[in-house]
Amino acid sequence: MKLSALLFALSSLAGAAGAAPASTPRFILLGEVHDNAEQHRLRAAWMAELLKDGRRSTVVFEQIPAKNTAALAALPAEARMDAEALVELAQLDKKNWRWPLHKPLFEASLQAGAAVAGGNLSREELRPLMKDVSAETWPADLRRLLEQTPWGEAQQSAMIRAIDEGHCGALPAAMQAPMALAQRARDAAMARAMLAAREGGAVRVILIAGNGHVDRDLGVPRYLEAAGVPASEIQAIGYLEQGQEGPGRFDSRVLTAPAEREDPCKSLRR
């Protein structure tokens, strides 16, 4: 990692880290472009610096199903330093998440003594939730969180537009609303995981997730605020690629060079 890039990231996040630990927001959300290794390295380096203050912290990962958090908490102390063993127990989908791209983030969390928690819904949990928020298959706490979170036509249109663009315009119209509901379910689940970490005694909770989940207007912050978290206690930081900044409302942004990749729309269009 280039020193200049790290210094740029640290200075860009000065509002999040603060000059003194007491000024750090309680809920810090770090976005990402999932396959950008440089963004993962930058966030891991920043987290390592932040967590040096020793405050009791929990790092919630989108990459882990929330249902596996209890198993992670039961790990013996000596096993909590092994990122490979931890993600195996957490059932991280190594193929889809292209492991070990996220390994620096897990290592930074474990080496600092932070607790690691899952935030996402598994595919099996998510599938029946894509039909109707009032369905009996919805967990009561998630349904309640969605129902108490203001959500109008403007938000729904913006969400569907983002999903359509994310699928290169190839997503059938009939799938747009169910996909939007699935995205909202994930956001609510990650907010629920962050709130649970606070209730469990964490002084600071960090979320590692895609930029869409970190968006102030459409993502996890919206559900945290609906649950009573003051906006001042939330810091949403987007990690974006130069030339592809796109929409999204964040408290600050960190720009990196685009990752080398094939055209992601090629297979979708085919």
Helices (H), the chain: 3-12, 14-17, 37-50, 69-73, 83-89, 103-111, 123-126, 140-147, 153-166, 173-199, 211-214, 220-226, 265-269
- Residue 149 has a pLDDT of 97
Per-residue pLDDT of the chain (270 residues; tens, 9 = 90+): 443 444 344 444 444 433 334 467 999 999 999 999 999 999 999 999 999 999 999 999 999 999 999 999 888 877 778 999 999 999 999 999 999 999 999 999 999 999 999 999 999 999 988 887 777 788 999 999 999 999 999 999 999 999 998 888 888 999 999 999 999 999 999 999 999 999 999 999 999 999 999 999 999 999 999 999 999 999 999 999 998 777 779 999 999 999 998 887 876 666
For 179, residues 6+ apart whose C-beta sits below 8 A from its C-beta are 130, 163, 171
- Residue 269 has a pLDDT of 65
Residue ranges per domain, the chain? 25-211
Architecture of domain 25-211: 3-Layer(aba) Sandwich (3.40)
- Compute CA distances 95 → 37, 88, 119, whole Å: 15, 12, 19
| Helices and strands in the chain: count of H runs, count of E runs | 13, 6
Instruction: Pull the structure tokens for residue 174.
Output: 């009939």
